[in-house]
Structure 1
């Protein structure tokens, strides 16, 4: 009876989730019900999956609209029809074309033209599957219309978008947000009608009592529609099923590749290795994942052919097959990786492979995947939805209601007293709560690519975002529900650093014979590298440079690969917050403490002293401790994050976990403590193979930093750094013996370069300096170095504002003139010449030579110029203080001040905000002391509130020196940011002292 129904995937229009729409239909006694979102099929698969729970036969389609103008509503008769609708919708979304007045004649889909729209386009010929939709408002007009004669073509077209007046109000707000207008200015044409709500069948029949044939036609039309997707636990894998011509050839190829890889990976192929390989191959074949492995292998082969650096990780890193195919560099035999985490007979999903490339290599790999596997529309990026967040919704609604900016800022900051707000502001807050969590617009999953056996449009329409690859309109959870499993291709700066560092070493030190970076095993036993890790001297190195990781490395005393693997997972938020990080450290450092471990947990996880550290530990505990089968254990693991936690199958497994443990005689206190640990970290912890992959990359970067430190730090700066700002990496390079120079017109490139120990900053670091001018500069310099300012200005047309940047950063210093002299010359010449940046001068213009006074330029002025133009200075920040530090306590002295209060100065590097278990805000600070050494601070809630951070700068810190596991930090009692001297460039008194009288200037 209802042919046009919207969920909130009718973006910035609809108001109900798919489940809410189904519940509404059930309440009104509907047993067949369509979902027809506006230009979108995002909700269709989940609508189909959930419909049986409401005793409803689902029908899906699309409400095609050009902006707010409805063209036609189409319903899929079957899966083929859904495919054709998605093809049609996607074609127009990709090209951003309007839908035509007349829809194609779909063989397997029904097209319903709104009566009012037909009056405008005057269509009078209707195919078998084309109908005329009559709304309640159209009934009176129908009797006198020429369309009244098409009795077998007439159907009820009543739209359902809202449940009540509140939904309608939300809808109007969404439409105002979408149109970027005040609510009072929202036109009627841009919104639905309050009457677009569900009605009882008797009400509909009463409205159409003179047109009973329309009711009958509508019912018959719905009966013709049906669609089927398998969402059962034993559903078919919908990924590309064969890599070669058949599954048999695929398996032969996989076996051959694995046995070819054995002698490359293992000097001695033991019986354990052979047994593990046979077991994995058998299970991969049985689970129909052969093509999944071969596709990943093909991606890696392409990357290797291009000399792209990559890291394979995820649960698939627990696999010896993946190791032999070189998808990963983690040896599962060496690490005793848990096979059942990677795959088991009960697991309904294939293993995860997250393959990291450098950011720019990733784009080309993605292009290759679409060309290799997407020729027949079988590849797409995975979608994701950006939802309204509360503060963002407050801002949007405040604008719609026309509130002034100061009021918008106050409401969105949350700094107000609710009782003192006016009614309009309260209304904003109330409706922002309604919007929170609802989809706002479609986006792209960070890494996921789908490669399906059927065309992607069999499952969903696609958008075409700026990346230029089609993107499905549903997320990873829905994809997995229907049997589509993603290939994760990610971009990572760490790999760019490794690749660039090796290139720099090869260019600057051609005599060096670098080892194969992909074979990291020699690095694991390198004493120099392990000593660096133990001292936590890992700045710039992948995953081990953050303040939290530096602290953990010191507390654990990490000096080997296996402990670093554990540390890579322990640092994850779930493990640390659950208290298991601390317990692991205690047991690692104190063998007596290990006796406290539960005997069953100790037997399951002896390598981590009975403490859950890795994701597979959840499976082990659930299987061996609670007696769940491996399928149930995997449901538990997956259920610890995202949508799955509230799903019925997860809740059933949770109850079984508890009841099984009780039956085994475990006390409730122990059961619920184990459950708390599982619940607190399973969704955040890494699989052990994943952690091992991270540790491999850490060792690769540590090797480069250990033996080629300056080249590695330059590569780090050029790849956008890492956890810290470029300033910190340049500080580290200085500590390692580098000499840092500002950009130079005759030596620097766009990126930072190194010559012996001299590091020249790249032009890319200059704030506001345009890329085209960098390119022009390098092109001109290729014809010969610049020998004067006039030479530079003649060869590179450039505005005075751009020239000013180069002069003030002292990029012309190789010319032998100070920058203040050059500024006088540049401004004089630019005032007397018209400079067209796009037009070089054809003839050399005679230049006047000036006789200028001798200018004095101080380090202080240079420092402030650098702060402005680089956003940091290469001078010591402590020299900029208005009042020099009054004491000389350094980090090196803290050992002698343990449990005593000290005052120490620190330059703020970063601050981590967190909350206590009671919800109070606190901080962990990271500073550099006057000697450039790390200073770590703890700011408990009372101090965090009383003495907040106030941005970058030098702080005077008073606090108590504490030690935990040989790691020293300062528990802050008070802190204040110290003022800098006034900027001398704008200080008149200062200028009079250092500048001679300008009246002496002649020419």
Structure 2
């Protein structure tokens, strides 16, 4: 039922021509792939099913689905309409105190006490309460997309309330509470690049059909185009999903991705965790043949070989525990969860690491070898990234790089029309398009439409009036009506006169 519920939501989105893609742990599932929920074939890159579901967990799997960020609300309202607001709701997110917010609220609360206490006592009290408050719940907010669906009215199970947005209901429990109770949850998320890719494909296929060429689909683009990979390897990736940050642009010429899996690694590698965990430079040295990968065991080589002996993905940690310490898939998943929550609960991860050490020694491995493996797992707890997540994002990264390389005008128009998204403002996107040979025609009140569009039979775009600050679409429609009646505007004065 859970899979079919997700499939129904995806089917609705596709029927409405809304681009969507499952990601995260769901990419480990062949069932999700066959149902079209995810686009990653888990058999091709050896993903781990127990990252998605296992017998020991005794709970529904977690499926995250991204939708076009401009149209996600349509999907949300479909769920409410199908299951009713009595049986479907968004989960809450508990916002806890951090240092800055704790200081601010505490200063407000203790403001008058500063007058009655001496400075030393006040400071001692302030510091004590500040320490106690951190991590304490402050208020709750709406989760970005966690949806729960029930067979019975939710008010019989959980406290509910209306959201601040109209036509939305939220429950007053967060995702951790939901997991503990085993209530079905689906993450309905928004992703800007899907909006961009959808628009780009629309513009491109319109052009291709006129040229009597077959339309292209998102997942039908060739996955091994050398020209596209050469472009990526140069760091020429402004506007490319997941590869456009300054850190990625600096890293790409050093990694020099040559195939799809290289992109999977690249996306996982340029994260705060791997950088802080000192894993990036060893990988780069091995990648560029400046250092030879070493593996203490054949099993370790099989698990870490594709990342040159450097542990990067959470799934690798799980496999090490399964094959070296005879963890069950469910126990390995508990290890992953403990690693993800190590900052909140260091005791849990330490117990599991001790268990791995003891089991490996019992299995016949030397104590030194067992310790070296446990030390690698300690590193994972700080920076491990889900391989399935990186694989899902790599598909979109490559697709965006492909469309940008072969259809720069249409892709530039799509990005501009999908704002806000990405790292760069429209001016930088326009500048990048120009460096790739796209002629950019300035905003023209007589020639521009609301959205930017690519010109026919030309590698050029006409900037849209949506880029004019403070101009609303309502005002644009008024101007459009006037122009249709009276013809082109010939002066600023005429615009003022007619629009007044």
| 1:918-975 deviation line (CA, Å, top 9, x unaligned) | xxxxxxxxxxxxxxxxxxxxxxxxxxxxxxxxxxxxxxxxxxxxxxxxxxxxxxxxxx
Alignment of 1:466 with 2:146, yes or no, is no
Give the equivalent residue in structure 1 for 2:478. Answer: 776
| 1:160-212 deviation line (CA, Å, top 9, x unaligned) | xxxxxxxxxxxxxxxxxxxxxxxxxxxxxxxxxxxxxxxxxxxxxxxxxxxxx
Alignment of 1:483 with 2:185, yes or no, is no
CA distance in 1, matches of 2:131, 2:46: 49
Give the 3-state SS of the residue equivalent to 2:188 in structure 1.
strand
Deviation for aligned residue 1:542? 1.1
Give the equivalent residue in structure 2 for 1:789. Answer: 492
Alignment of 1:351 with 2:40, yes or no, is no
Distance 1:583 1:347, change over 3 A: farther
Distance 1:485 1:613, change over 3 A: farther
Which one of 360, 363, 381 corresponds to residue 661 of structure 1? 360
Which one of 145, 153, 156 corresponds to residue 447 of structure 1? 145
User: Greater RCO between the two (CA within 8 Å, min separation 6)?
Assistant: 2
Instruction: Report matched runs for 1:923-1002 at 5 Å.
Output: none
Distance 1:568 1:789, change over 3 A: closer
Unaligned runs of 5+ in 2: none
Give the 3-state SS of the residue equivalent to 1:519 in structure 2.
helix
Give the equivalent residue in structure 2 for 1:18. Answer: none
| 1:778-809 deviation line (CA, Å, top 9, x unaligned) | 33334332123332122212xxxxxxxxxxxx
Which one of 277, 299, 302 corresponds to residue 578 of structure 1? 277
Alignment of 1:600 with 2:299, yes or no, is yes
Which one of 314, 323, 334 corresponds to residue 615 of structure 1? 314
Which one of 377, 382, 395 corresponds to residue 104 of structure 2? 395
Alignment of 1:722 with 2:432, yes or no, is no
* Contact 2:223–2:260, Cα closer than 8 Å, also in 1: yes
Give the 3-state SS of the residue equivalent to 1:487 in structure 2.
strand
Distance 1:610 1:672, change over 3 A: same
CA distance in 2, matches of 1:426, 1:770: 54
TM normalised by structure 1 equals 0.46
Distance 1:396 1:796, change over 3 A: farther
Give the equivalent residue in structure 2 for 1:309. Answer: 19
CA distance in 1, matches of 2:120, 2:206: 67
Distance 1:672 1:484, change over 3 A: farther
* Contact 2:321–2:356, Cα closer than 8 Å, also in 1: yes
Deviation for aligned residue 1:309? 1.0
Instruction: Report matched runs for 1:28-43 at 5 Å.
Output: none
* Contact 1:632–1:653, Cα closer than 8 Å, also in 2: no
* Contact 1:597–1:610, Cα closer than 8 Å, also in 2: no
Give the equivalent residue in structure 2 for 1:731. Answer: 431
CA distance in 2, matches of 1:626, 1:370: 46
Give the equivalent residue in structure 2 for 1:383. Answer: 92
Which one of 175, 179, 196 corresponds to residue 497 of structure 1? 196
| 1:791-840 deviation line (CA, Å, top 9, x unaligned) | 2122212xxxxxxxxxxxxxxxxxxxxxxxxxxxxxxxxxxxxxxxxxxx
Give the equivalent residue in structure 2 for 1:327. Answer: 37
Deviation for aligned residue 1:734? 1.1
Q: Which moved more, 1:639-648 or 1:711-720?
A: 639-648
* Contact 2:342–2:349, Cα closer than 8 Å, also in 1: no
| 1:507-545 deviation line (CA, Å, top 9, x unaligned) | 55652435432334x521222222222222221111122
CA distance in 1, matches of 2:374, 2:423: 33
CA distance in 2, matches of 1:394, 1:382: 28
Alignment of 1:690 with 2:382, yes or no, is no
Aligned CA-pair RMSD: 3.0
Distance 1:401 1:650, change over 3 A: closer
Deviation for aligned residue 1:498? 0.6
Deviation for aligned residue 1:325? 0.7
TM normalised by structure 2 equals 0.88
Instruction: Report matched runs for 1:74-223 at 5 Å.
Output: none
Unaligned runs of 5+ in 1: 1-290, 408-419, 798-1003
Give the equivalent residue in structure 2 for 1:373. Answer: 83
Deviation for aligned residue 1:771? 5.2
Distance 1:427 1:324, change over 3 A: same
Q: How many residues align?
A: 490
CA distance in 1, matches of 2:27, 2:372: 30
| 1:632-663 deviation line (CA, Å, top 9, x unaligned) | 21111111123895287655433312322343
Deviation for aligned residue 1:501? 1.2
Alignment of 1:296 with 2:30, yes or no, is no
* Contact 1:575–1:581, Cα closer than 8 Å, also in 2: yes
Give the 3-state SS of the residue equivalent to 1:335 in structure 2.
coil
CA distance in 2, matches of 1:486, 1:628: 27
CA distance in 1, matches of 2:83, 2:403: 36
CA distance in 1, matches of 2:250, 2:296: 25
CA distance in 2, matches of 1:519, 1:296: 20
Deviation for aligned residue 1:497? 0.8
CA distance in 2, matches of 1:734, 1:766: 20
* Contact 1:739–1:757, Cα closer than 8 Å, also in 2: yes
Deviation for aligned residue 1:424? 6.0
